[in-house]
Amino acid sequence: MAWVSERLAVAMRQAEDLILRDYIVSAASQINAGSGSNGDNPTNLGIGDFSLVATTLDTNNAYKFMSGILGENRFGSGPVRSSYFMLTSTELQSDFDALQGSGFLNQWNYPNNTSALPSEYGNIYNIRILTSSEAPVARGASAKGADVYYNTVLGKQAITHINQDGYSMNLIYRDPYYSGMLAQNATLAVKFAQAQALTQDTAIRNLLSTRATALGV
């Protein structure tokens, strides 16, 4: 019973994340990538796209999530600027790897990893990149019929998650019992109510892009 309840709690939080993800896709302003090399619209992500979206948020006085990391005497490492977060798909990780030497710093090459998140893949300019298999992708939506990735870049004050008082999570449980052929079922479920809001539209952008190369399957 305990482990089932734990899995239900995880499933509920994942559902909350997906609802918030879809809301951001529908509500946040968009920038099409244009610095890539694949000739599509939008293009794959280029270094200039990261500079553009970071400059946009800076100009809009967005608050960064993370302060910088000072350089250390560690082979292959480099300093990390104070940064916004980018939430993006794991399918773009090979594209980020291809940008090494052009501005991308792998999370493993940070001077230290004490502030790195488990899903953090690396850093470009003022943006720290978090990858997830649940990040939004519009299949076949580009000008050339390629998949379009919604890479959400945001500052601290961009979004909020609102729980209804006394209704953030309810666990519904009915003991299993047997008193006849029509009374054999137990019930275990969760229900919740929530709302999302963009608290400052100028502090968030969906950077739309395609991939540099075809995705292997």
Q: Is residue 171 part of a domain?
A: no
* Opening angle at CA 215, ends 210 and 217, nearest 5: 155
Helix (H) or strand (E) holding 181: none
Look at residue 15 in the predicted model and tell me its pLDDT: 83
In a domain, 214, yes or no: no
| pLDDT for res 10 | 80
Cα 92 to Cα 139: distance, rounded to the nearest angstrom: 14
Rounded Cα gap, residues 159 and 88, in angstroms: 17
- Per the structure, the count of domains in the chain is 1
Neighbours of 158 (CB within 10 A): 24
The whole-number pLDDT of residue 8 equals 76
| Residue 34 within a domain | yes
Residue 114 inside a domain? The answer is: yes
Q: For residue 99, what are the contacts with CB-CB under 8 A and spacing of at least 6?
A: 45, 47, 124
Cα–Cα distance for residue pair 188/147, rounded to 1 Å: 38
Flag whether 46 is in a domain.
Answer: yes
For residue 178, the model assigns a pLDDT of 61
Give the residues across from 204 on adjacent strands: 154
In a domain, 120, yes or no: yes
Question: Mean pLDDT for each 10-residue chunk of the chain (217 residues)?
Answer: 70 83 92 93 95 96 85 71 93 93 88 84 94 94 95 93 73 70 71 84 96 74
pTM of the model: 0.83
Contact between residue 81 and residue 125 where contact means Cβ atoms under 8 Å apart:
yes
| Contacting residues for 42 by C-beta, under 8 A, at least 6 apart | 32, 33, 34, 36, 142, 148, 208, 209, 210
The whole-number pLDDT of residue 155 equals 94
The answer as to whether 23 is a domain residue is yes
CA neighbours within 13 Å on the CB side: how many for 151? Answer: 36
Domain that holds residue 73: 2-164+194-209
Residues 120, 4 contacting (CB under 8 angstroms): no
